[in-house]
Amino acid sequence: MVTERSARESPEQRAAEQVVLVVDDDEDLADTCRYWLDGERFAVETAYGGEEALHRLDDTVDVVLLDRRMPNVTGDDVLDEIRERGLDCRVAMMTAVEPDTDIVDMPFDAYLVKPVSESEVKETVEELLVRSGFESEVREYFALESTEAALDSRDVEELREPEALSDLRGRLEAVRAEHEAAIRNREAQLDRLNRTNELLRDIDRAIIDARSRDEIEQTVCDAVASAHEAAFVLRRTAAGTLRCTAAAGYGLDPAGVDLDFVDEAFDIDGTVEDGFAFEDISEAHRAAVFGDDAADLDAVSALYVAIDYRETAYGALVVYDETDGFDEESAGLFSDLGATVGNGINATQSKQLLNGDSVVELEFQVAGAGDAGVLAGLSATLDCRLSLDGVTRAGDELTCFVSVAGASGCDAVAAAIDAADVSQARVVADGDEESVVELRTDAEAVLSTAIDHGASVERLTLSEGSGTLALHVAADADHGALVEAVTTAAAGVSVVAKREVERSVQSADSFRRTLDSKLTDRQKTVLETSLVSGYFEWPRGSTAEEVADSLGISPPTLHEHLRTAERKLIETYFDELNPASADD
């Protein structure tokens, strides 16, 4: 059987336009902050010291997390240089230096005292990015407020100059009095942002525990409705119609939601237009959703959020709130939520595929030589038989390990290199009757599409440009959507059979489930790639450098993943052989 697993990636995001720079001579802490912030709606970089930070700083940096106590060039020095250069970025001091009145005149925007938590770092960065769009006087107010909050954590008697805190509070009151209306407006904006972020974190935690797509969708609706007026999830059926599959708020029943009004939010191909919003929906719209409760609502806005994963569109989340509109920050965060939900649905279906007692097998006919992908074209060019042994994903590229019969491995590699869509090719093993080659390409649309839809590639055999492809998918997956996506991904691909495949429940299956729960997706990918590339053979078919390169990681990282995965594999094996007694 051929299995595929793509490394778990952060939800798909809009192009990152904002840059966060983490500056700390403690490399482990700097890297930890980068890991915490990875997957958010901005790019994250690190500088392991003040001098390195000064080399990196320019007008492309939006937020700096800055340690104060660093050798040679201190955080205070970096802060002074930032302001002297006139760089318009927000700065959060993140330090173990306990705040004192010396910070009153320092031009930072926030002050975090170590040790810091993941939530503190995320919330601070998100708020500072929003503050960047505030009026300068309002930014000054929030900076002064952050300074006061830092000093307020100290006993006044312990401060070097207690009167400096009183002066600071006087400045704070004066700025607020002068810009009261603008400050109140921005406080309300930050409050909405914080509530939305808290909601997203709650949903993230809930998705982890969900066991099915239905459960994920209902969990999301419940959480969103608790913070807003109502929410429901829409799916596009194989027939092209919309179906409400989960709803919450105002006693909404999925079966009772009138969907006539939502078609304008969908593109002609049936995918939702992400971020499509109604400001103050019409009375007819309200009545269609809320029924008799519509009269109790004032101005109600609606936001449509695409639920997708990679190129797979799972549907849409529709959120209603009793406001005059969703601001840009909230809409952006909800867009990320849609990607998170799509990722959760994909992961859940993948788990069902791995652990289910039965799966659905979809068989496709592949014809059309190069039109059906690189591998089909290669089999036609060489007039040979190809069978896929394994496929892994790194970014937009697939790494395929292919057995070749009827042509030498060297000839296969030469022909592959001549193909414009193959970025790398090499011989893994060259035998008299059959060879194994590794190809890296971004032009296998059929396989990429299947993977994006959570399918496992069971087998792919090709001869002279034609052949068969078998995919395994979870029993409750959207089979119609998968068939449509795969058959339209390339010319000459058609579905020929659908069948249910039973899996026998054996101790081996129990072993696999146990091991699967212990291994991360990345560890599974590294193990499988190493196996099919011949790394575990002797002599080895691939070196560690070659395997690492095919995965887009460094050799030390490969070895770290391999050692961890091997330890878990061996532990699981001996635990299965020698289960702990009830007394242990």
Task: Tell me which of 38-47, 55-64, 560-569 is least confident.
Answer: 38-47
Residue 416 and residue 401 in contact, taking contact as beta carbons nearer than 8 Å: no
Statement: 203-354 belongs to CATH 1.10.580.10: no
* Structure tokens belonging to residue 370: 């190069």
For the segment 526-541, the average pLDDT, to the nearest whole number, is 84
* Beta-ladder partners of 306: 316
Cα 234 from Cα 541, distance rounded (Å): 48
- Position with higher pLDDT, 104 vs 207: 104
**How far apart, in Å, are the Cα atoms of 429 and each of 225, 408, 414, 546?**
57, 10, 15, 14
For the segment 211-230, the average pLDDT, to the nearest whole number, is 85
Calculate what percentage of the chain has a pLDDT beyond 70. Answer: 85
Burial (Cβ within 10 Å: 0-12, 13-18, ≥19) of residue 495: middle
Cα 528 from Cα 391, distance rounded (Å): 9
DSSP-derived secondary structure letter, 371: G
Task: Tell me which of 53-57, 136-140, 573-577 is least confident.
Answer: 573-577
Helix, strand and coil in the chain, % to nearest 5: 45, 25, 30
Cα 116 from Cα 118, distance rounded (Å): 7
Assigned fold of 504-584:
Arc Repressor Mutant, subunit A (1.10.10)
* pLDDT score of 340: 84
For the segment 273-279, the average pLDDT, to the nearest whole number, is 64
For the segment 545-561, the average pLDDT, to the nearest whole number, is 88
Neighbours of 113 (CB within 10 A): 15
Cα 21 from Cα 19, distance rounded (Å): 7
* Beta-ladder partners of 4: 391
Phi and psi of 523, rounded to 5°? Answer: -65, -40
Q: How confident is the model at residue 1 (pLDDT cuts 50, 70, 90)?
A: very low
Q: How confident is the model at residue 78 (pLDDT cuts 50, 70, 90)?
A: very high
* Structure tokens belonging to residue 510: 């129990």
Residue 571 and residue 563 in contact, taking contact as beta carbons nearer than 8 Å: no
* Beta-ladder partners of 43: 19
- Position with higher pLDDT, 405 vs 103: 405
Where are the strands (E) in 164-291, listed by range? 230-236, 242-248, 277-278
Per-residue pLDDT tens digits for 226-272: 888 888 888 866 556 678 888 888 767 676 666 665 555 454 344 55
Alpha-carbon torsion, ordered 19, 20, 23, 27, to 10 deg:
-100
* Structure tokens belonging to residue 267: 């593109």
For the segment 179-190, the average pLDDT, to the nearest whole number, is 86
* pLDDT score of 149: 85
String of DSSP letters for 262-328: GGGGB-TTS-B-TT-EESS--HHHHHHHHGGGGGG--S-EEEEEEEEETTEEEEEEEEEESSS---H
* pLDDT score of 66: 94
Q: Looking at the predicted structure, is the pLDDT value of residue 150 above 90?
A: no
Q: Looking at the predicted structure, is the pLDDT value of residue 51 above 90?
A: yes
* pLDDT score of 582: 38
* pLDDT score of 5: 28
* pLDDT score of 237: 64
Residue 150 and residue 103 in contact, taking contact as beta carbons nearer than 8 Å: yes
Within this chain, domains 11-178 and 504-584 share the same CATH topology? no
- Position with higher pLDDT, 161 vs 504: 161
**How far apart, in Å, are the Cα atoms of 514 and each of 212, 269, 354, 562?**
19, 41, 11, 18
430: Cβ contacts below 8 Å, ≥ 6 apart: 408, 409, 410
Q: Looking at the predicted structure, is the pLDDT value of residue 117 above 70?
A: yes
Residue 138 and residue 182 in contact, taking contact as beta carbons nearer than 8 Å: yes
Cα 208 from Cα 201, distance rounded (Å): 11
Average pLDDT score, the chain: 81
Strands 422-430 and 397-405 come out as unpaired
* Structure tokens belonging to residue 310: 């990679």
Task: Tell me which of 71-80, 209-218, 432-441 is least confident.
Answer: 209-218
* pLDDT score of 198: 78
Per-residue pLDDT tens digits for 310-344: 767 788 888 888 776 677 767 777 888 888 888 88
Q: Which of 379, 385, 396 is nearest to 445 (CA)?
A: 396
For the segment 106-110, the average pLDDT, to the nearest whole number, is 89
Q: Where are the domains of the chain?
A: 11-178, 203-354, 357-502, 504-584
* pLDDT score of 76: 92
Cα 52 from Cα 380, distance rounded (Å): 54
11-178 CATH pick, 3.30.40.10, 3.90.930.12, 3.30.1130.10, 3.40.50.2300: 3.40.50.2300
* pLDDT score of 372: 66
**Cα first-last separation, the chain:** 38
